[in-house]
Amino acid sequence: MTWADEGWAEAAREYRANGRGHQPRLATVAPRRFQLVPFSDLNPGSAPTYLVKGLIPRVGIVAVWGPPKCGKSFWTFDLAMHSALGQDYRGRRVAPGTVVYCAFEGTEGFKARAAAFRDYHHLGDVAEVPFFLVPTRMNLVKDHAGLIASIREQVGSDNPVSVVLDTLNRSLAGSESSDEDMTAYLGAADAIREAFDCAVIIVHHCGVDGTRPRGHTSLTGTVDAQLAVKRDGAGNILVTVECMKDGPEGEVIASRLERVELGTDEDGDAITSCVVVPADDDQVRAAHTIRSRRLSDRQRLALDALNEAALSSGKSTPPEWQLPAGILIVGIDRWREELMRKGVIERDASNPRQDFKRLRQALAARKLIGDRDDFVWAT
């Protein structure tokens, strides 16, 4: 008997068992799991695709990274506040809505930061700003479901337009260099994105050489946008759009920190914080673009090392030098040591002093550094 004969025989047995007058069983149609969309229906919608146009997508995971004390948290907070207030950001449209900012470190400083923003932008008459701070450290992989539930419970029916995780290191129970740990972390961040259909902004540190985000490369491979934050020799905060899915890249946002006095403490000392304000965008961006286009990788690393040395151990210029305010100078030996520490110059090279001299002369020829009396600074 063939397979077909066996099949018909089975059907006949079932027919006899059910009785001649019994209706045959209807085949159960499985619910459609995957919807196929025809090419003709693939048309863009008119809804905004950005949280901040040209900088942050409306929905997705975003990395904002940079070295310590480069201003990345100040800048991210300022950007988030513009979204919460529904105010254009540097001439760019924003998607207004609720912002949830998870500050996993320095939460006391955020109180002063919020007060400085409130005073500087004259928000005294604004009754309520849809900005919420989460001042608790967490293991995001373990706690993300609890965070989602807490946001839903306390924010209400309106989903947040963004959730900020500041910083990755303070919310990761594992190693940034581990493929498994970073994959789990990004999965938790993506669960937050999916729960609220929002942007999840991850603030992160840079690697040892300062050229990319610290840890496993899965972060860069996953994010929908990646923004690099650096400080230049004049203390400006430069934010560069390194990559953007379905958007332009290479935009540079120039800012500076402005000090705000908030009163005095019980000892009579001034309580201060800073706000982010626009810098001279055209001048700073032009210099940054020239620097990025014309320098070799080694020269860029040398200039970055100088800026980092200035931020960590630089000092103000003597008044008699008559240099612009805000420039920080470092000893030439200190800069050379930083270059060796980062591996830009090999200590065991045949002539490391000559290598340093060539780098120094190349940057000076482009008028990107100045030097005097064994001190050097970025221009």
Structural domain contains residue 25: no
We report the CATH number of the domain holding residue 337 as: 1.10.10
Asked if the structure places residue 5 within a domain, the reply is no
Residue 358 has pLDDT above 90, yes or no: no
329 and 256 co-located in one domain: no
Query: Domain of 360?
Result: 296-378
Work out the mean pLDDT of the chain and round it to a whole number: 85
Say whether both 285 and 208 belong to one domain. Answer: yes
- Whether residues 57 and 202 share a domain: the answer is yes
Across residues 173-185, what is the average pLDDT?
94
Burial code of 144-171, b = ≥16 C-beta within 10 A, e = fewer?
A: beebbeebeeebeeeebbbbbbbbbebb
State the distance between the two ends of the chain, measured CA to CA, in whole angstroms.
Answer: 91
Encode pLDDT of 214-236 as tens digits.
999 999 999 999 999 998 877 88
pLDDT of 2 over the 60 cut: no
Q: What is the pLDDT, as a whole number, of residue 29?
A: 65
Q: Tell me, what's the pLDDT at 106?
A: 77
Rounded to the nearest 5 degrees, what angle is found at the Cα of 32, between the Cα atoms of 26 and 33? 135
Q: Looking at the structure, tell me whether residues 261 and 368 fall in a common domain.
A: no
> Per the structure, how many domains does the chain have?
2
Q: Which of 240, 273, 290 is the endpoint of a domain?
A: 290
- Shared domain for 185 and 304, answered yes or no, is no
At 178, list the tokens: 């581990």
Using the 3D structure, point to which of 235, 258, 290 is the last residue of a domain: 290
Please indicate, yes or no, if residue 13 is contained in any of the structural domains: no
Q: 250 and 188: one domain?
A: yes
Distance in angstroms (rounded) separating the CA atoms of residues 311 and 348: 27
Residues 257 and 175 in one domain: yes
Q: Tell me the whole-structure pTM to 2 decimals.
A: 0.70
